[in-house]
Amino acid sequence: MSERITLTIEDGVADLRLNRPDKMNALDPAMFDALLDVTGQLASRADVRAVVLSGEGRAFCSGLDMASMAGLASGDPKAVAGINPDLNPARLRERTHGLANAYQQVAWAWHQLPMPVIAALHGVAYGGGLQIALGADIRLVSADLKMSVMEIRWGIVPDMAGMVLMRGLLRPDVMRELVYTGRTVSGAEAVQLGLATRLCSDPLNDARLLARQIASHSPDAICAAKRLLNRAADAPAAEVLLAESVEQQRLLGQPNQIEAVRAGFEKRAPRFDNRSGS
């Protein structure tokens, strides 16, 4: 694992931390590479049932690091990131990861992972850091957290899947206000607006507890639920209704579904196998 990321996996829960605390976990080329690598690994881990995403030190993530911002100011596109070929601004239109380019995939990948992702946010979540957090299924935040769709302050727009990820959370006018102004919102306002799920005195502890609760359920059913919830966000009703039936048909009578019922009747903790590949 890259020094930019720490990852531990225990009892079906992956605990992943951005690990650049001296820079408030700012996004540099090494952090982009590490995030792309770890999300690719997690996507294939059948033993992982939930992910907790957080940041070491004083903040979750302060966004693009200042060296990259200085590159933007230089007017030289190749100075922005170092430059990793996949992150070269000249290649932004290339779809290197399915629907997304490499920048977008750093945030979009959390949305795509088969298992739920819970982000524990403290300090700041600015710009690209906020967009990464938006890729999570659930965001638990401290009251003093500061969030900002900050790109407009640098003369750019959110380009790490933020436009897609925000549209399902915010009213259109609220989303426009935040994008147009780049203003900072507190954790409490983020919950009120829909950017965050709920306030916590200790977001990381609560995220870990929630992840363990999710991991105690059938991993097949949890992953099926995430597929349905992702599709329900923007698919026609007929498509979602059919998808419900397809997912249910896949689950019924399978070992983990039978174990869930037996454990319920026998009043004991279920013993699930790893999720299937469906």
Q: Are residues 93 and 65 in the same domain?
A: yes
Q: Are residues 101 and 228 in the same domain?
A: no
Range of the domain at 178: 5-214
Average the pLDDT over each of 13-22, 79-88, 120-129, 191-200 and give the range with the smallest value: 79-88
Q: What is the pLDDT of residue 87?
A: 55
**Residue 203 carries which side chain, given as an amino acid letter?**
P
Q: Are residues 242 and 145 in the same domain?
A: no
CATH number at residue 229: 1.10.12.10
Phi, psi (degrees; rounded to nearest 5) at 59? -155, 160
Q: Are residues 109 and 195 in the same domain?
A: yes
Q: Is residue 271 part of a domain?
A: no
Q: Are residues 151 and 65 in the same domain?
A: yes
Q: Is residue 205 part of a domain?
A: yes
Is the Cβ–Cβ distance between 270 and 258 less than 8 Å? no
Q: Is residue 137 part of a domain?
A: yes
First to last CA, the chain: 28
pTM summary value:
0.92
Q: Are residues 126 and 32 in the same domain?
A: yes
Q: What is the pLDDT of residue 81?
A: 45
Those residues whose C-beta lies under 8 Å from the C-beta of residue 114, and which sit 6 or more positions away, are 43, 223, 226, 227, 275
Q: What is the pLDDT of residue 210?
A: 98
Is the Cβ–Cβ distance between 147 and 82 less than 8 Å? no
Q: What number of other Cβ atoms are within 10 A of residue 169's Cβ?
A: 17
Helix (H, G, I), strand (E, B) or coil at 56: coil
Q: Are residues 110 and 236 in the same domain?
A: no
Q: Is residue 119 part of a domain?
A: yes
The tally of domains found in the chain comes to 2
Q: Are residues 226 and 174 in the same domain?
A: no
Mean pLDDT of 113-137: 98
Q: Is residue 222 part of a domain?
A: yes
Give tens-digit pLDDT for 227-275: 999 999 889 999 999 999 999 999 999 999 999 999 999 999 999 999 8
Q: Are residues 127 and 222 in the same domain?
A: no
